Structure 1
Amino acid sequence: MLPLARLHGGHFVCAPHVLGKLRFSSGIRIVKWDIFCNVVDNFGDIGVTWRLARQLVAEHGQAVRLWVDEPAVFAPLCPRADPEAESQYQQGVEIRHWRKDWPAVEPADVVIEAFACQLPEPYLAAMAARADKPYWLNLEYLSAEDWVAGCHGLPSLQPNGLQKAFYFPGFVEGTGGLLREDALAERRQLFQADPEARRAFLEELGVELDAAALLISLFAYENAALAGWLDALATGERPVQLLVPVGRVLADLANWLGEEKLSAGECFRRGSLAIQILPFVSQDDYDRILWCCDFNAVRGEDSFVRAQWAGRPLLWHIYQQEEGAHWDKLEAFLALYCRDLSPSAAAALTEGWRAWNRGEGMGTAWNALLAQWPELVLHAERWCREQVARTDLAAGLVQFCTKRL
């Protein structure tokens, strides 16, 4: 990624714009937030913004309006949502259909454009016309790269006279933190400590748990490395149960199985490997799937973060970018995540993630990971505790908007 100064013309000023209407104290004053989400790559961007919107309402008492350009994609994440509605309230959040023919609305006090989406021109004009200018933030993609902390929070003066600050989620001090609801860690630990709760939840999904099997979840993009991994799982000594929620990887899985198409509820067995296709579930239920499993293969950003909160070993399929820019992000996270691992465990995990993302060699890499399994399990929980100790993304955003008052 280019340095922020080059991306945004270098128009930095020395201090962020202050939003005068906010008051941050033990009694937080309710202000209005507009969050704009341009749905990209199915559920990634909307997954993040929907979690953020809910948390701002539920934990910080804010009034949030979430603008979504494809409500039909949002609806599966919130089963009660009406994909045809122009406006609706779900879990305290006002969901609005972001149409090209933009309606005349009063801009909110805090405006978040998620992942560099472009705000409607009439809305920008209305922002500039307000006497008390909105606080404008660009919520950036998650990265562990070194430059992120130096760019987090920097404002940029825009041609219309407004200022926009760039807010970077991250894993270290000086960044915006990660999305994490209050008491999430405690709820996860209670669930994982209760075998009956785990069994009952999986039973609701139609999964009959094999107590002797390694339970794995798979949520990935199309991946040429999948066949080699499945071969290793099927020929391994330990039985494996693989839970595959409906998603983009199903076509590759169907090819390996010799099936034309896969549907939720179907089950297959190949050697030591039992495979079950799960229906698309709500975000809360997906969290529980991650909590249930011994190992989670995830993709993108939202499921990547949620797998870390599960406190279990994971495998990340990063979203591919032009000119291989995603490799810098992958290597930056690996360097940070593996920092406290032994050399052998770090090497096994690093090669596993590289093999998965380059599309080959996953069978050999998986066996190397299994050889380091006890250390990887302990490390996943330790990493989770370290990240839980940091300020979460939603709380950080509220503090960021109010820190200079």
Structure 2
Amino acid sequence: MTQPAKPLEWDIFCNVIDNFGDIGVCWRLSRQLTVEHDCRVRLWVNELEAFQRICPEIDPQIPIQHVGGVEVRRWASTFPESVPGDVVIEAFGCHLPEPFVDAMAGCRAPPVWINLEYLSAEAWVSGCHTLPSPHPNLPLTKYFFFPGYGEGTGGLLREHDLEERRQGFCTSVEQQKDFWFSLGLPPPPADALVVSLFAYENSAIGDLLTVWARGEEPVCCLASESRTLAALEEFAGQSMRAGDTIRRGKLELRVLPFVTQQDYDRLLWASDISFVRGEDSFVRAQWAAKPMVWHIYPQDEGTHLSKLGAFLDQYTAGASQATAEAVRVLHNAWNGDLSGERHAPRITPELWQQWMDALPDLRNLAENWANHLINQEDLCSSLVRFCRSKL
């Protein structure tokens, strides 16, 4: 009789800099490894205060705690003596502590060392996925693991029951009512276009809100209390905080608190259109199967725009020319790339109308894209399979 494989022990290192995408990805991965693959996960995080924003159960004052079946540890500058697990994840090139690397090298069977990279749709990714990189001095090998969209990549994070939960929420009036009640808000008006807004600082936010306020169709904008708050206050002409609502013309603007990842998924499912940023919310918006606009993390010399273009090429590959043009033009304007040149982001009434004219086709495009992606092996399962092959 074949013996069941022993549970793998994982160490995941996450360095939170100034955003929530890194910890968002690491927390989803940690939970999925624990729940779906019976793994034992130790998650090292340098900023527990930031972690608490998306997981209220985290106590930033406790250096070692267990949340959701995951052992969470503060990654302090003075690193404690630790025995590495079977797999070590260096998330997004965060650079492991030297004492821990030395401990890895001292193991009788060195752990599988993974550098989990950022998601990209660029063509070169498949050629670099799982490439080994031997340590120059120690008997260790690091493997580069790339999330992605096609063959030869690691896929995307997706829990096995995600689509079932999405369908259940979208078809249940009671679940939707309970969701709004949990946020302390009434459901949006039945005739309003519901838009969730999560972005980095963006000079086009005021443009967008003004277009909605002066438009003909009611819009209910659900803006996360984040780095957009200053722009929201400038538009409103008053200070704002989570729980506040203002009305200007056809626009109802609600400021939402930071919510758990589970509630953020529900927010995406409840929205007609979602503006998202970074990586974690970007991936979840794709699984929501609704039209979305991605604010990609800005990089020096505009290298992020090549990454944006590579994604849009794949995302719109099966769309009509008009639909693809509507997607590309709005994304480029939102990210400050107009006619191939970098400009300050700008949204005009004409540009938004082009998007709205294409909205029925954009809905079909989003659904078809999600159905296409679901045929891929998910990132967590791909990681487990690869790491077991190296042990």
Report whether the alignment pairs 1:197 with 2:197: no
Distance across 1 between alignment mates of 2:24 and 2:381: 18
SS of structure 2 residue aligned to 1:340: coil
| Cα distance between partner residues in 1 of 2:324 and 2:266 | 27
Structure 1 Cα separation of the partners of residues 280 and 98 of structure 2: 29
Q: Which residue of 1 aligns with 2:266?
A: 288
2:112 touches 2:390 (CA, 8 Å); kept in 1?
no
Equivalent position to 1:251, from 227, 230, 242 = 230
Choose the corresponding residue for 1:231, options 202, 207, 210. 210
Structure 2 CA distance for partners of 1:56 and 1:362, relative to 1, 3 Å: farther
CA distance in 2, matches of 1:316, 1:233: 19
Distance 2:17 2:284 in 1: 19
Structure 1 residues 362, 133: closer, same or farther in 2, change over 3 A?
A: farther
User: 1:347 deviation in Å?
Assistant: 0.3
Report if aligned partners of 1:152, 1:168 keep a CA contact under 8 Å in 2.
yes
Deviations 1:342-372 (A, max 9, x none): 0001001100000001111354321110010
2:157 corresponds in structure 1 to 179
- Give the number of equivalent residue pairs: 380
Partner residue in 2 for 1:401: 387
Question: Which residue number corresponds to residue 123 of structure 1?
Answer: 100
- The sequence identity of aligned pairs, in percent, is 50
Q: CA RMSD in A?
A: 1.3
Cα deviations by residue, 1:192-212 (Å, 9 ceiling, x for unpaired): 112332133113213322000
TM-score, normalisation: structure 2:
0.95
- CA distance in 2 between counterparts of 1:349 and 1:117 reads 33
Q: Is the 8 A contact 2:89 2:115 kept in 1?
A: yes
| Partners of 2:374 and 2:127 in 1: CA distance | 22
Deviation at 1:229, TM superposition (A): 1.1
- Where do residues 66-145 of structure 1 align in structure 2 (5 Å cutoff)? 66-145=43-122
Secondary structure of 1:27's partner? coil
Match of 1:47 in 2: 24
Q: Specify the alignment match of 1:378 in structure 2.
A: 364
Q: Which residue of 1 aligns with 2:126?
A: 149
The correspondence for 1:263, drawn from 241, 255, 258, is 241
Q: Summarize deviations over 1:159-216 as a string: whole Å, max 9, x none.
A: 1231000000011121001111111011101111123321331132133220000111
Q: State the shift of 1:252 in Å.
A: 0.8
Are 2:185 and 1:210 equivalent residues in the alignment? no
Matches of 1:152 and 1:361, distance apart in 2: 37
- Structure 2 unmatched ranges of 5 or more: 337-344
TM-score, with structure 1 as normaliser? 0.92
Is the partner of 1:33 in helix, strand or coil? strand
Query: Is 2:277 the counterpart of 1:299?
Result: yes
Q: d(CA) in 1 for partners of 2:207 and 2:354? A: 14
Structure 1 contact 268–275 (Cα < 8 Å) conserved: yes
- Structure-2 change in CA distance of 1:183 and 1:397 (3 Å): same
Letter in structure 1 aligned against 2:234:
N
Which SS does the other structure have where 2:335 is aligned?
helix
Q: Which residue of 2 aligns with 1:343?
A: 321
Q: Which stretch of the first structure deviates more once superposed, 193-202 or 29-38? A: 193-202
Does 2:144 match 1:158? Answer: no
Q: How does 1:322-341 map to 2 (within 5 A)?
A: 322-341=300-319
* SS of corresponding position for 1:137: strand
User: 1:96 corresponds to which letter in structure 2?
Assistant: R
Structure 2: distance between partners of 1:195 and 1:273: 24
**For structure 1, which runs of at least 5 residues remain unmatched after alignment?**
1-24
TM-aligned CA deviation for residue 386 of structure 1: 1.0
Given that residues 295 and 312 in structure 1 are in contact (C-alpha distance below 8 angstroms), is that contact kept between their aligned partners in structure 2? Answer: yes
Shift in Å, 1:404: 5.8
Structure 1 residue ranges, 4+ long, deviating more than 6 angstroms after superposition? none
Matched letter for residue 355 of structure 2? L
* Corresponding position of 1:391: 377
Give the whole-Å Cα distance in 2 for the aligned partners of 1:48 and 1:198.
25
> Do 1:352 and 1:362's aligned partners in 2 also have CA atoms closer than 8 Å?
no
Which moves more between the two structures, 323-332 or 192-201?
Answer: 192-201
What CA distance in whole angstroms lies between the structure 1 residues aligned with 2:194 and 2:6? Answer: 45
CA positional deviation for 1:388: 1.3
